[in-house]
Homo-oligomer: A and B are copies of this chain.
Amino acid sequence: MSGQAERLERYAELAVRVGANVRPGQQVGVFAQLAHAPLVREIARVAYRQSATYVDYVYEDAHVKRALIELGPEESLSWTPPWLVTRVRDLNAKRSAVISIAGDPEPELFSDLDGERVGRTRMIELSRALSRQFNEMLANWTIVAYPNEGWARSAFGEPDVERLWEAVAFATRLDEPDPVAAWRGHLEGLAERARVLQEHEFDAIRFHGPGTDLTVGLLPISIWRAARFTTSWGVEHVPNMPTEEVFTTPDSRRTEGFVRSTRPLAVGGSLVRDLELRFEGGKAVEVNASAGADIIRGQLETDEWARYLGEIALVDGSSRVGQTGITFMNTLFDENATCHIAYGDGITFSAEGAGELSEEERRKIGVNSSAVHTDFMIGGPEVDVDGLRGGTETPIIRDDAWQLK
């Protein structure tokens, strides 16, 4: 076996055994793009060796989506073929494992199309089904990325796949002699951060730096969480590889101020640069960007809750992703390099008791619910992060270093 084939097999093993933590007798659902086929195939082999009963996959072709955006009827932009929802429901009903593959081979494929149409293009029913899978913990799932030429070109300006593989291997601890043990230690460190944040019972988090002065309210029921999730029936899994964040769902009614994104954002087949948002009473009321503002505006039109935050996540400079110094042009990586927030859907299981409420009831108490959930990066060495409580400010991150004990 070549070194590359062996690395791919070890990576698939990490995704199957640590990420999704596929159990014998489980079905495995894979979501991928065409360029991810080599990893999908290796995941299938590893999963069957782990006694999976069936590996079911769907390949997305962004060029067919491009044809839809360019030439299809308006009402089809947000439509979901019903079988895609059936598939998610069947996977949930069978308590399946799910592996999604990231690493867009053509992250600017839609950049010459009508940005608002691009922003409105979203399978809403599929998003809802996946949000339910996520929030009700109906599958042991993970997202891993597959290095490919197009992604490497987007990150480095040249198709240096080997360089990208090395960065991915470092960020995912695949370079460790015993990656499984390295992950165990790493996950415990993140869980400790979440525990300490929880003890402080902050009422809000403030980000302050160039172009940014943003206060995000927290709920009394907000739960800080980190990388290890557990399904409703008790299977632990690691939803993102890499993962460096501690996160919670904020009070969607209490975001105030302005924020400047600190990294470009690859979203909807386009790159958004220098994104700036202004919030009033929780709502994003102003959107600017040097590129791609119309994509964001299109997304914010998806439903009336898209303009409110659903997630706040803290990451400092100890992140392995951040240490690579690379802007990956890929949210799975870039959001794990630095602090980020997401507009749109909230994280139900990060708000105590929210899982028992209806969507409507959740929104009323400040736990957002939307068909959109877009993360963007707002942290870095120049951005101070503080926890607010009863008039005092407690430093959480300074000069990209974690302060909170």
- Chain A positions within 8 Å of B, measured between CB atoms, are 34, 37, 40-41, 44-45, 48-49, 51-59, 61, 63-64, 67-68, 70-73, 75-76, 79, 81-84, 86-87, 90
Contact = CB atoms under 8 A, between A and B. Distances in A.
Contacts of A70: 45, 48
A45 B68 CA distance: 8
A47 to B, nearest CB: 8
Given A48-B72, A68-B48, A86-B86, A54 B81 contact: yes
Nearest to A41: B63
Contacts of A49: 71
A79 B64 CA distance: 28
B53 A71 contact: no
Contacts of A68: 44, 48, 54-55
Contacts of A79: 54
B87 A81 contact: yes
A81 B56 contact: yes
A329 B83 CA distance: 33
A374 to B, nearest CB: 24
Contact of A63 (B37, B51, B56): B37
A64 B45 CA distance: 8
Interface of chain A, main secondary structure: helix
Contacts of A76: 53-54
A144 B152 CA distance: 35
Given A37-B34, A53-B73, A53-B76, A48 B61 contact: no
Nearest to A72: B48
A48 B71 contact: yes
A344 to B, nearest CB: 25
A19 to B, nearest CB: 18
A206 B20 CA distance: 59
B55 A67 contact: yes
Contact of A67 (B41, B58, B59): B41
B41 A61 contact: yes
A195 B86 CA distance: 45
A61 B41 CA distance: 8
Contacts of A82: 86, 90
Contacts of A53: 72-73, 75-76
A71 to B, nearest CB: 4
A150 to B, nearest CB: 14
11 contacts: A34-B59, A40-B61, A44-B63, A44-B67, A49-B71, A51-B73, A52-B72, A53-B72, A54-B81, A55-B72, A83-B83
Question: Which of A52, A71, A87 is packed against the most chain B CB atoms within 10 Å?
Answer: A71
A367 B67 CA distance: 43
A58 B55 contact: no
Contacts of A59: 34, 59, 61
A54 B72 contact: yes
A305 B84 CA distance: 33
Contacts of A83: 83-84, 86-87, 90
Nearest to A83: B87
Given A41-B67, A45-B71, A83-B86, A61 B57 contact: yes
Contacts of A81: 54, 56, 87, 90
